[in-house]
Amino acid sequence: DQQVKQNSPSLSVQEGRISILNCDYTNSMFDYFLWYKKYPAEGPTFLISISSIKDKNEDGRFTVFLNKSAKHLSLHIVPSQPGDSAVYFCAATATGGSYIPTFGRGTSLIVHP
């Protein structure tokens, strides 16, 4: 049973537009969420995170929104650039619980010039 779900395996966006990547979770104990970005044949790299005490965290072109009641978070990239084309993984942890994150399946983002 997947506790972290990324239901869209792929997303295609035009350069300059907004990319919205979604993530849902089922475990109500999760209270810290991370997004990782992965290029082909490379390891994932940390992108942005959010604690459950917040509903928004922004870092440059990247913003993560958290809706605790819906157990849903989203990553917004605006404006999208061709270099953003990668696989994006959502991950979640529970403070005081296991430090090992639970990952989603990933969403492949393609940004067209």
Partner 1 sequence: ETGVTQTPRHLVMGMTNKKSLKCEQHLGHNAMYWYKQSAKKPLELMFVYNFKEQTENNSVPSRFSPECPNSSHLFLHLHTLQPEDSALYLCASSSDRSNEKLFFGSGTQLSVL
Q: How far apart are CA 27 and CA 111, in angstroms?
A: 32
Tell which one of 1, 53, 69, 99 touches partner 1 (CB under 8 A): 99
Answer for which of 80, 84, 104, 107 binds partner 1 (CB under 8 A) is 104
Residues 24 to 63 in contact with partner 1, rule: CB under 8 A: 32, 34, 36, 41-46, 49, 51
Cβ-Cβ contacts under 8 Å for 92 (sequence gap 6 or more): 3, 4, 25, 27, 30, 32, 33, 34, 101, 102
Q: Which residues would be at the binding site for partner 1 (CB under 8 A)?
A: 9, 32, 34, 36, 41-46, 49, 51, 89, 93-101, 103-106
